[in-house]
Amino acid sequence: MRATPIALLAAALVALALAGPAAAAPLLVLEPDGRVTARDDRFLPAPDRPVGRTAAPAPAMAPDGPAGRAARSRRTVRGELARLRDAGAIDAATHDRHRETWDAAQRTLRRLTGRRAVELRGVLRTVDEVAAAGALTAARLPAVFQTVARNRQWWAAGRLVGYGQRVAFSGSRLVWQSYPGQGIQLQWLGTFGKANGLFLSGDHDPELRALLDEAGALATPRAGGLAWESWFRFDGGRPPWVSALSQGTAVQALSRAAIRLGHGPYFDTARAALGIFRTPPPTGVRVATDAGAHYLIYSFAPRLRVLNGFVQSLIGLRDFATFANDDGGRALFADGEAQLRREVPAYDTGAWSMYSQARESDLGYHTLLRDFLRNLCGRLTDDTARAAAAQAAGGATATPAVPDPALYCGTAERFTGYLRTRPVVTLRAARPARPRARRGVTVPYVLSKISTVTTRVTRAGRPVAGRTVRLGRGTQALRFTPKAPGSYAISVRAVDLAGNATIVSGAVKVASAK
C-alpha cells in the first residue's frame, strides 16, 4: 500500500466533517435488568422504510426439491456443530458455547406464546435451514449464534415491535432491526451508517473504534475476502446474502476510521471487503456491463437495479480509494462510475426520480437518492479541484483522471426542484368519440409523476363517479357510465408526494342512448 499524501487526506477529511452527523433516529435499547428504554440516537441514520406496528410473518424457506429434503434429513444444527468440532474447525469450548446458546433458545421458545414465539421460532427455523443446506461454516458461527442469543434475549424480555423498528442492547453498539416473522436481525447498513455518524461527530472516537471492532468480529469469508452477511429472507432472497449498499458503507466507515484513529488494520479489513465488488452474484454483487460494472443492492437479485444503493456503494469505494490510496479500490470505483454515468439519465423522469427501472421513488427514497448524488457531486468536485491544484503546483506525481461531476450535480439539483414542482395532468379526448347514455365512457389522462389522484364526475352539480387512489406516472383513465344524456363535468386533482397539487377540469357531452 502506498502512503497517501497528507495534504490530500487533510482536505478530504475536513470536507467530510463539514457534512455533520446524521439526524437522530429512534432506537429501543434492552437494558441488563430487562427494561427497554427509547432513545433518539443522533448518530443513527433513519430507517429505510417507515416503522410499522404490524406486518405479516415471512414465509418459511422452501426446500430445493428432493436434494434439499434429503440434506434436511441429514444435517441439523447440533450435528453440524459436532461435525465442525470433530473436523478441528472449532475447539470443544466453542462447540459447547454455541450448543448451549442453541439449547437455551429452544428452552426459551417452549415457554413463549403468541407473537414472541413466532419471532423466535422464525429465527431458529432459519438457522435450521442454513445447517441443513451445509452453509453453517465455522466462520459464520459468531454472527449466526449472536443472532440466536440476541433474539432469545429480546423476545423473552423486550417489547413487541413492528416492521423496521431499530433495537440495540446495552453494552453493544450494533444495530438490529425488526423483520416480523424473522425476529430482529443485524442491520448492517444501520450499523455502519452509525459508524459514519460517530466519525462525523468528531468527538466519539472510542465509540467508533468499539463499533467497528464489534462489527469486524462478525465479518465472514466470502468472494475471496470478507463480507457482512444478512441472515434473513428478504424480497425472495435466502440467507446468507450481501448488499453493495451496506458493504460500500462499511468500506467507507472503516477507511475514515483508519485515518482518524491511526489504525491501519481497518484499511486491511476494508480492502478484504472489496471481494464482493469483483465477484458476480449470487456470491458477489458485480454485474459486468459494456461500460464497466453495476454493483447490486442485493446479491440475490441480479436484475434489480436500485440507483440509490449503487450510488452510495460508489461513494464508499471512492472514499476507500482516496484514503488508502489504493489502486484496486480506484479501479472498482472507475468501473462502477462509468456504468453509473450511463444509468443516471434513465432514473430522471423529468418530474421525479425512479427507485428502480420499474417504479418511481417514494418521497424518502427520492430525497435519499438526491442526497447521495449531491454527495458524489461534492466529492468529484473536490477531487477535480485538488487535481487542478496539484497540476498547477507542478507536482511530479501523476494524478488519476477525475470523472466530470456535472451529471451528478445537475441531476441532484433537478431532483431538488421536483420537490417544489406541481404534477402535470393532461386530459385526453373521451372514448368513444360520441359517448352515449348507459354505455361506458373512458377519459384518459397523462400524469407526470407519482401522485395521489382524486377524480370526480358530476352532472348538474350532483356526483356521478369518483375515487381517490395513489397512481404512478403515465397514462391513467377515469371511467364512468352515464345514466342520462347531458353535459358531465370532469375534474382530476393530483397531489404529489411532496404535497404539490394540481387540478384540471373538462366536460364530456353524452348523447341519448339508441
DSSP 241-291: B--HHHHHHHHHHHHHHHHHTT-THHHHHHHHTTHHHHS-TTTS-EEE-SS
Residue among 412, 409, 505 at smallest CA distance from 454: 505
pLDDT tens sequence across 384-398: 998 888 888 876 556
Of the pLDDT bands very low, low, confident and very high (cuts 50, 70, 90), residue 4 is very low
pLDDT at 400: 74
pLDDT for 210 equals 98
Q: Which residues of 429-446 are buried (b: 16+ CB within 10 A; e: fewer)?
A: ebeeeebebeeebebebe
- pLDDT given at position 23: 57
Query: What type of residue is 375?
Result: N
* All structural domains of the chain with their residue ranges: 27-49+75-418, 425-510
Cα 191-195-199 angle, rounded to 5 deg = 165
Instruction: Please state the rounded mean pLDDT for residues 117-134.
Output: 97
Q: What is the pLDDT of the chain when averaged over all its residues?
A: 91
pLDDT tens per residue, range 149-185: 999 999 999 999 999 999 999 999 999 999 999 999 9
Mean pLDDT of 2-27: 47
Q: What is the largest CA-CA distance in the chain?
A: 89
When pLDDT is cut at 50, 70 and 90, the band that residue 70 belongs to is very low
More confident residue, 448 or 49: 448
Name the 3-class secondary structure at 472.
coil
pLDDT for residue 74:
78
Fold observed for domain 425-510? Immunoglobulin-like (2.60.40)
**How high is the pLDDT of residue 6?**
34
Weakest-pLDDT range from 65-74, 209-218, 453-462, 466-475? 65-74
| pLDDT value at residue 49 | 53
Q: Can you tell me the distance from the alpha carbon of 179 to that of 48, in angstroms, rounded to the nearest whole number? A: 13
Residues 6+ apart with CB under 8 A from 334: 292, 403
pLDDT digits (tens, 9 = 90+) for 105-114: 999 999 999 9
pTM exceeding 0.85: yes
